[in-house]
Structure 1
Amino acid sequence: MHELRENWLNPPEWTERVPEVVPGYPDRILPKPGHAADLKKRTLTHLYNTRPAWLDNAHKALDQAVAAAYGWTDYTEAMSDAEILGRLLKLNLERA
């Protein structure tokens, strides 16, 4: 998920990564010539407001993987938030 979003936010063809001089800090991401204005439009807010199909599919796959990790063989996309939160609370109380 992170890699997909990162590639949309900072496309390699529009950006240059410059190592940070302070150890432990991430690289600086600088726009290549002619792409500064394009990059300003690439925000997480914009991405999630437009919600392209690839992002929606990635979230669905992540939801399925998390449900499988919890052992929820009956998970479906139609499951309500209340059902999911109830299961998580039950699991939390069992482990506490």
Structure 2
Amino acid sequence: MSDITREQVEHLAGLSRIALTDEEIESLTTELSAIVDAIATVSEAVGDDVPATSHPVPLANVTRADVEGATLSHAEAFAGAPSHDGERFRVSAILGEEQ
């Protein structure tokens, strides 16, 4: 088992600016020791012939071709708009005086 001490946990808590109770310090001392031991076990299994990976399964973005399609005319786009000037939608101002 690794040698994580109470003082090391208190030091890490101080660096992290986390207030810990005595019970939390004792618990974290045991838990951090277990974590360090688990990492050491994994490190023993890894040899020079095992490449480093960031993900166990290769990932690729799924994309589709950007195909131009049918678009709305101005009249169709403005058909459901509460207010427009024929070229732009009219909306309330979000800065300044309310309308």
TM-score range, shorter chain: under 0.3
The structure with the largest alpha-carbon Rg is 2
Q: Which has the higher helix share?
A: 1
Higher relative contact order structure (alpha carbons within 8 Å, sequence separation ≥ 6): 1
TM-score calculated relative to the size of structure 2? 0.21
